[in-house]
Amino acid sequence: MKRREFITLLGGAAAAWPVAARAQQAVPRRTYRIGSISLAVGPSTPDEGFRKGLHDLGYREGYDIIFISRWAAGNQGRLGGLVEELLSLNVDVIVSGTTEAILAVRRINQTIPIVMTTTSDPIGSGLIASLARPGGNTTGVTQFSTDLVGKRVEILHELVPTIKQLAVLAYWPHPPTEQLFREAEDAAKVLGLKLRLLKAGGFEEIESAFEAMARERADGVIVQSNAVWNRHLRQVADLANKRRLPVIHESADFPRAGGLISYGPDRYDLGRRAAIYVDKIFKGAKPPDLPVEQPVKFEMVINRGAAKTIGITIPQSIEVRADEVIE
């Protein structure tokens, strides 16, 4: 090639570079809008895990993604209006760990992708058809595992072998509650325990339930985890400790709030894994094609201070299995 021809080509290529750069800059970057809705009053442990999961996948808040959150603060009657708000803001996906909130979304819109984080009984509650083939517009992760309630009963019995009368306190109305009761009954029968099932809505009903437990001489309690009661964990712990009642909960937030013990899925990990589903949906996957995952990480947390208040000694067989012991 002659020198003049080479210079001409080089000059043409150099002139084209700014044009290509300008064209590349002109392409709008997609910013996804993630809507979340819950019966809680604010962010929870799974929400923290979800944000961390998206960050680990390379998403940056305010740049690639925008979070739009709505909290019903325990009022199921507000869910419909909050869903309408999210949909009016053109969110690309809705994330929720609250069964009632997901049902509210589906009553209004059957096509927007929904990703579950900590639902307890998605099949029994009608959110999905099956774990392998969820169907519809809902997928994600669930904290449901058929043996978890049974394990909590066993742990509580191992912790306090003298237990004879077991109480189960659950949120009502809440679709997964019936499944919880069935599993607790099966586990109690195996250990020869009498079982008392108690339902409550707001905190006043929780207080009444603890009074009933005291009257009926319950000597062990399983308390259900749900978005509505998360703000009352310290109060529930105080009620139990005051009455010297050993309580096991499924969320580690309970012993961290002063309660005795918890055993259940790692809720932070559930939120983190839910982020993977959102990423797949952003990349074109459809909810019916994404099997729902069950928990793979579990944690036991013990509060020694609560045990001392109640007047029990943590057996070594339990303490060595604990992921965290709070002094």
User: Where residue 221 sits, what CATH number does that domain have?
Assistant: 3.40.50.2300
Please report the DSSP string for 118-187 in residue order: EES-TTTTTS-S-SS---TTEEEEE---TTHHHHHHHHHHHH-TT--EEEEEEESS-TTHHHHHHHHHHH
Residues 118 and 165 occupy one common structural domain: no
Q: Are residues 258 and 189 in the same domain?
A: yes
Q: Does residue 216 sit in the same domain as residue 307?
A: yes
Which domain, by its residues, includes 101?
32-144+267-289
How many CB atoms are located within 10 Å of the residue 163 CB? 20
Phi-psi bin for 225: left (phi > 0), alpha (psi -120 to 50), beta?
Answer: beta
Specify whether 188 is located in the same domain as 44.
no
Angle at the Cα of 122 from the Cα atoms of 110 and 64, rounded to 5 degrees: 60
Q: Is residue 170 part of a domain?
A: yes
Number of domains in the chain: 2
pLDDT at 144: 87
In this prediction the pTM is: 0.88
Q: What is the pLDDT of residue 18?
A: 46
Residuewise pLDDT in 10s, the chain (327 residues): 444 443 444 444 444 444 444 444 444 568 999 999 999 999 999 999 999 999 999 999 999 999 999 999 999 999 999 999 999 999 999 999 999 999 999 999 999 999 999 999 999 999 999 999 999 999 999 998 878 999 999 999 999 999 999 999 999 888 888 889 999 999 999 999 999 999 999 999 999 999 999 999 999 999 999 999 999 999 999 999 999 999 999 999 999 999 999 999 999 999 999 999 999 999 999 999 999 999 999 999 999 999 999 999 999 999 999 999 999
| pLDDT computed for residue 245 by the predictor | 97
Residue 19 domain-assigned?
no
176 and 136 fall within a common domain? no
pLDDT of the residue at 19: 41
Instruction: Please tell me whether residues 115 and 186 are part of one structural domain.
Output: no
